[in-house]
Amino acid sequence: MANIQELLQDYLNYLEIERNRSVKTRENYGRYLRAFLDFSKAKTEKDITLESVRDFRIHLARQKTAKGIDYKKTTQSYYIIALRNFLKYLVKNDYSVLSPDKIELPKTPSRQIEILEYKDLERLLLSPSGSDLRSLRDRAILEVLFSTGLRLSELCGLGRYIDIDRGELSVRGKGDKIRVVFLSEGAKKSLKNYLQKRTDAESALFISLTKAKIPKVIGRITPRAVQRLIDYYSKAAGIPGHVHPHMLRHSYATDLLINGADLRSVQSLLGHANVSTTQIYTHLTNKELRAVHQAFHARRRSLK
């Protein structure tokens, strides 16, 4: 038997070094697993029993957030997934432990994907109409988000010196994996207009600006700032409901699939590790196909 804290440390090192997972993933897994170990008071790998796991699941189901809200099923599943993967690691390294297959994952509700109606999307992209630096930056941000389907963190991490005419961007995504995304003509034009207006030496592609009449550059733009500008322009465009940055990513993926892209290609463009993640978009495109069927199938029969 081994000290469970040492095994946990070995596993977290394995995640980061061998599996090339991000520091954030390591932190999250560490938090989930320590919560189980603290609750179960496990000292060795033998202390991880079906009973201790069951008790922990009951504990999670009764947990509340700081605002007094019950943990979501998806949140509860993160803890159980981490525990199962930890046990798989121990089995792989010849420790005699509880079989991971005996731990069933919580059933979670189907993920709801929100996308923008095309007319709303067009109005949003056209909302930043000024010729000042802030408006040009914001227009470029919106165009690049829809053109590439980037995650918010990926967008904010982009470097300034890119070959716009080539129309390709190399992006470092989750797990430090590099993928290539492509710029539309609209995104290229917006980026050129924006970069021609800049006189600073900041290396970030998208910069943060002060609110002064003549704004100053104060570094790389933050994800929170992008969220705020999207919220601002969506309201200015008269779009009902809350619009968040990920909706542009969802709209990008759905647009590709509706227009004939295959699932594996969309998976690569989005940077999904598993195609099952990309499949969340298929129910949306199926609705579009249903509308096509109803509009065009057997029209001559209905006209008789």
As annotated, the active-site residues are: 151, 174, 246, 249, 272, 281
Report strand pairing: 207-209 vs 178-182.
unpaired
| Residues contacting 267, CB < 8 A, separation 6+ | 274, 275, 277, 278
User: Both ends of the chain: CA-CA distance in Å?
Assistant: 80
